[in-house]
């Protein structure tokens, strides 16, 4: 008598090889997404561009309204998001707040992309 080989049942997932656990953990991904969310706005990118050009100097918030044609509350709102994402440093001088790019902050974001 000839025996037929026993075949494993075909599952729904048989189309492909499982990709395994993601390399990037959930907590780390959440933290990194905050920084990319801060970068995900044209006006914030333009603010960073101005602050980078002025780097390592600090720029008064009062000087950032005109180049972007935005109101000061709007500029302050965007600067707060960039500050909370760890990209900017804020310093009070008299009435005005001065902002500067944290050295290496943008390089660190580029590093996140390289290490994904």
Where does this chain bind its own copies (CB under 8 A)?
Answer: 13, 15-24, 26, 29-30, 32-33, 36-37, 39-50, 52-54, 59-60, 62-64, 66-68, 94-96, 106-107, 109-110, 113-114, 116
Q: How far is the CB of 56 from its own copies (least distance, A)?
A: 15
Residue showing tokens 């970068």? 39
- Is residue 24 within 8 Å of 113, Cβ to Cβ? no
Residue pair 36/25 in contact by the 8 Å Cβ criterion = no
Least distance to its own copies from the beta carbon of 7, Å? 20
Residue 7 or residue 17: which is nearer to its own copies going by CB? 17
CA distance 13 to 40: 36
Query: Smallest gap, in angstroms, from Cβ of residue 86 to its own copies?
Result: 14
Choice between 1 and 25, CB closer to its own copies: 25
> How many residues in the chain?
116
Instruction: Supply φ then ψ for residue 85, to 5 degrees.
Output: -80, 0
């Amino acid at each position: 008598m000839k025996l037929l080989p026993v075949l494993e049942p075909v599952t729904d997932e048989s189309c492909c090889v499982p990709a395994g656990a993601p390399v990037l953990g959930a907590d780390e991904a959440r933290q990194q997404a905050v920084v990319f969310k801060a970068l995900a706005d044209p006006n914030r990118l333009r603010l960073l561009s101005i602050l980078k050009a002025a780097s390592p100097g600090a720029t008064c918030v009062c000087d950032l309204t005109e180049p972007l044609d935005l109101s000061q509350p709007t500029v302050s709102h965007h600067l707060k998001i960039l500050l909370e994402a760890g990209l900017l440093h804020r310093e009070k001088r008299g009435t005005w707040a001065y902002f500067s790019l944290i050295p290496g902050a943008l390089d660190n974001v580029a590093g996140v992309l390289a290490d994904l």
